[in-house]
Amino acid sequence: MRNDVTSPKALNTLLSDNRWLGAATLVVAGALQTLTFSPFQFWWLGPVSVLLILLVTVPLAPGKLFRAGWLTGLGLFGTGASWVYISISEYGNTAIPVAILLTVIFVAGLALFHGLAFWFWGKLAPGNPIRRLILFPAIWILGDWLRSWLLTGFPWLYLGTAHTDGPLAGLAPVTGVYGITFWVTATGAALYAGWWLARYRRPVAAGATLVVMLIPWLIAPMLNRVDWTRLSTDATTVAAMQGNIPQQIKWDPEFLKDQIVTYLGMTEGHWDKDLILWPETAIPIPQDQAGAIIEHIDQQLGEQSTLITGIPWYGFSDRVEGFTYHNSIMAIGNGQGMYHKQKLVPFGEYVPLQSVLRGLIGFFDLPMSSFTRGPSGQSPLSANGIKVMPFICYEVAYPDFVAFNARKAGLLLTISNDGWFGDSIGPLQHLQIARMRALETGRYMLRGTNNGATAIINNRGQLTETIPQFERATLTGTVYTATGSTPYMQTGSWPVLTLAVILIVFVRERIIPPVSASGS
């Protein structure tokens, strides 16, 4: 038996028996995942992070796995989503100590998803390390999926998103982001298994494990060359205005007119473009009060031009049996349609338990935080005969939601106001998420933002044109509509989720040889 620190038994014992060292390793492993995303883009740290997690958790007793998962999530969200502090403190009129407390609660709450997943993992594989390794990718995926919809969902910081520029990008149109995430976690598990087997002189098994692990990494670059959809040969000229309006004055009544004048001035010289895009709530007054502005825009547009802008909507709704506000986007000119946002951001666009929370602190009374969710099944906008499927801000983070709605249109469009997150990594993560949605659907996506990064994303998820953050500028370029569907658009994430369930159902104790956690 090998007793040096590099042996499985010695290293597992060191990390699992030393509570503080194991806890620090898990937090660091979670934090490493943040480095896989923009702006860092060290995608290869994904499997490394998983390997570190497994080094600590595989030998642990089931009762300790909830804490292990929570610590992993704490490292991930504490580094990758702490930008929420900026929106609470700087733009939410909240005292710094309260903002810190709310950020800690937010991060700690999100980490519970990992804790719950790891707890379930321990229940399914109480004492067999091989079974734990086989089940780990399935448990991780189901945990991500649960996080995508429970309590409105937080589909952010998925390991697969890091591969917009990584070698597994070719899997996105086939399996979606969950499929890539599955294989990143499976790779970490295979590295652990291969190292473990090699150290215990089972070279054939170790080699076979590593070869199987490499297959998708070799196939994915070839899949990246496949044209899953067909692009039109006719280019659509576009112009997108990035006004860089300071968040502090965004909803100040004294500056509303100045904002509209800013966007009108930026559009001079571009009224003849096929498609003009203003960002989220670029017109900061409801459509029932903006008739003169909309009419002026319509008069300025060329005969074949359409302007699409974010604008609040106010009117009577049968769904709520009364008058309500929607965060909306509308087409003006040679186009038509109104879209109401369906995926609202808690506290930013609506306040849960508002009868209790409103008035307690400034963050619970943000401007325009009384929106109502739009109905499902909404139609695309029309722009010069092109069907354009819009997504407002946070909506683009939901992979299946985007894939399903993309079937209706040949061009995707997303508008956002990432000014809430200041000069943090949040807006850059948001841009990378939008790139993954374009890659999954094989469609161009035009992204318009208030303060960056406004961009044209092609059907392979690559940036063709972009404006840097915090600049007032106009982006111009061309986009191409697409026909047909990627495999992921047809199936969504269900094949990957089904695979995860199959692994859980069929990996029984009786088919796994008894092996102790230490490998002895």
What would the pLDDT profile of 71-102 be if each residue is shown by its tens digit? 999 999 999 999 999 988 887 778 899 999 99
Q: What is the pLDDT of residue 361?
A: 57
Q: What is the pLDDT of residue 518?
A: 45
How many alpha carbons fall within 13 Å on the CB side of residue 111? Answer: 28
Q: What is the pLDDT of residue 519?
A: 43
How many alpha carbons fall within 13 Å on the CB side of residue 173? Answer: 22
Which residue's structure tokens are 């370029």?
477
From the list 153, 157, 124, 152, the residue with the least C-alpha distance to 138 is: 124
Taking CA atoms, 519 is separated from 26, 392, 514, in Å, by 21, 51, 10
Find all residues with CB under 8 Å of 17, minimum gap 6, and list them: none
Can you list the residues of the chain whose pLDDT is less than 50? 1-2, 514, 516-520
Q: What is the pLDDT of residue 358?
A: 52
Q: What is the pLDDT of residue 472?
A: 96
pLDDT in tens, 423-433: 999 999 999 99
Which pTM was predicted?
0.93
The catalytic site residues sit at 280, 341, 393
